[in-house]
Structure 1
Amino acid sequence: MKYFFTILVLFSFLTMFSSCNKDDDSSQEPEAVVCEMWFEGDPCEAMITKFIGDYEGGAGFCGTDYEYTVIATPNVVNGIAIGIANPGQPETYFFNAVLKSSTEFDIPLQEVEANGQTSMLSGDGNLNGTTLSYHLIVVGAGECDHVATKIN
């Protein structure tokens, strides 16, 4: 009986210590994902990825409906090019933009050729979900607000 009691006490201590040393991951917070600059999410993806695609929309009082294409610009980590075309027209003209954040971009002053004419333009814009919006200033011609919805 004396040995039984000793074994019982020893077993109780071993069980108690082994249960106290178990790792309980449920109380620990998950590690935060840290992405390099111009990347976001889990797993980290380039911020421009969500901008890339085709859009349809219009320019309010400045014109009719347009077709838009957004592509990545080569050799610019945070650069995109936005193309605008009138439906039924063969020409698409592109201008460059630079991301300021994961949803906003600047359109630096640049020369763009469209329909055989050269214009200077600048502006800024954003992406809210699947809606691309930007304000475009064309030197000597005026300003337009463009709003388009991503179609793919």
Structure 2
Amino acid sequence: MTAQTHENLMIDGHPRSMMSCPDFPVGSFGIVEVENPGRGVWYSTACWREYVGTWVLDNGRLFLWRLEGKYRLQNPDPLFASWYSGTLVVPDGRLVHYVHMGFGSIYEREIHITVANGLVTHTEVVDNRARLEALRP
């Protein structure tokens, strides 16, 4: 499997990316599957999910702002992600170990953002230095 394209994430107006793909309810909230999505990264081995989402964290609330590829939002306004509970994984710092599979690459740090019903409940910064030491021969 090829390294996968990250989801887009805006945190209080600052562009970031995510090494996780929050789910969303296709067929609800104006989220639809499209037959001819056009060309883009979603038609490559770097995007097995066949879409790229843009998400927004604003004042502790998670919104789905845009979908490109296989899915689209019918409404142009950001959609509060009340359905989502899970952990968003945001790379932080330099890429220090590239893995050509999934979201396996290692960055200096990761920001883990726990979300419950669209609301941020916890944020933790994970230092990956120990993980890197374990990879060294």
- Tell me which interval the TM-score lies in, with the shorter structure as reference length: under 0.3
Question: Which protein has the larger Cα radius of gyration, Structure 1 or Structure 2?
Answer: 1
TM-score (norm 1): 0.24
Greater relative contact order (Cα 8 A, min sep 6): structure 1 or 2?
2
